[in-house]
Amino acid sequence: MPAISQRPVALVSGSATGIGAACAKRFAASGFNVAVNYNRNEEGARTTAEDCRSEGAETLCLQGDISEDGDCRRMISDISKRWGRLDALINNAGTTRFVDADDLDGITREDFDRIFAVNVTGCFQLTRAAAGLLKAAMNGAVVNISSHSGFSGIGSSIAYAASKGALNTLTLSLARSLAPKVRVNAVCPGFVDTQWLSGKFDEKELAIFRDNVQRIAPLHSVVSPHDVADAVAWFATSARGITGQLLVIDGGTHLTVGDPL
């Protein structure tokens, strides 16, 4: 049996870039050791791990496709062997395909299958694999990275929005199933200033989109990955009386009428 780490441990899926990378670095700065998961972007994952080590964290880079149950179980086994504990699981890995909502023939069954396999089934599988270690922690927590698309039906595609709606209900189900030892919550960002939309917009179009979001947002600001990471860390480390909650992080744009797209 490995010696149990004196530092708490966080696993952030899909943490090579964007929100996942910001979450990994936020946990490292808060005194956690961090497992950095990636599927294809090994270079990005190693950069994230290096940033975490600069904050004093031990790190573990774990390649794995969360839509594969065997990969999920292997990653948790590697964490157990390395540190003997897991205190926080951040289900951030996600995928999409950009298809306009009125183009019903542009989205295929294969698109739905892949998007749901990662965004919903993958989150369930990784949480199931981690449940034993999380229950053994003093304050085990799961935070799912969902989307405001799960409420609005607006997003990169109909399949993506539907998957995030399913992830929201999965969050509620897991909060019941894993209580009282593990808390399960979700953050639901609107537009976040990452490279996520590079699959839809070129640089000029993205700048226009960003300006439109800032214009209509009551807070007149665009949410950053660090804003989301702060909320994730709060759910995981401080919100000990909260489970089964879905927190929208969008600068207040849900209060407005209209869609920046």
| Residue 256 within any structural domain of the chain | no
pLDDT of residue 259: 46
| Residue 259 within any structural domain of the chain | no
| Residue 3 within any structural domain of the chain | no
Confidence of residue 133 (pLDDT cuts 50, 70, 90): very high
Greater confidence (140 vs 261) lies with: 140
Confidence of residue 212 (pLDDT cuts 50, 70, 90): confident
Q: For residue 58, how far is the Cα from the chain centroid?
A: 21
Q: For residue 218, how far is the Cα from the chain centroid?
A: 25
The residue annotated as part of the active site, out of 27, 160, 191, 235, is: 160
The number of folded domains in the chain is 1
pLDDT of residue 260: 41
How do residues 13-56 score in pLDDT, each as one tens digit?
999 999 999 999 999 999 999 999 999 999 999 999 999 999 99
pLDDT of residue 197: 62
Q: Where are the alpha helices (DSSP H) in the chain?
A: 18-29, 42-54, 69-83, 109-116, 123-136, 149-152, 158-178, 203-216, 225-237
Reference 230, options 138, 146, 120, 143; nearest CA is 143
**Angle at the Cα of 241 (from 239 to 243), degrees rounded to 5?**
80
| Residue 122 within any structural domain of the chain | yes
- What is the value of pTM for the model shown? 0.93
| Residue 254 within any structural domain of the chain | no
| Residue 179 within any structural domain of the chain | yes
How do residues 171-208 score in pLDDT, each as one tens digit?
999 999 999 999 999 999 988 877 666 666 677 877 77
Letter for the amino acid at 235? F
How do residues 78-122 score in pLDDT, each as one tens digit?
999 999 999 999 999 999 998 989 899 999 999 999 999 999 999
CATH number, domain containing residue 17: 3.40.50.720
Reference 217, options 187, 256, 188; nearest CA is 256
What residues are paired with 11 via a beta bridge? 35, 89
Measured distance CA(79)–CA(89) in Å, rounded: 12
Residue 187: domain span: 9-249
pLDDT of residue 261: 40
| Residue 235 within any structural domain of the chain | yes
How do residues 53-80 score in pLDDT, each as one tens digit?
999 999 999 999 999 999 999 999 999 9
| Residue 258 within any structural domain of the chain | no
User: Is 160 a residue of the active site?
Assistant: yes
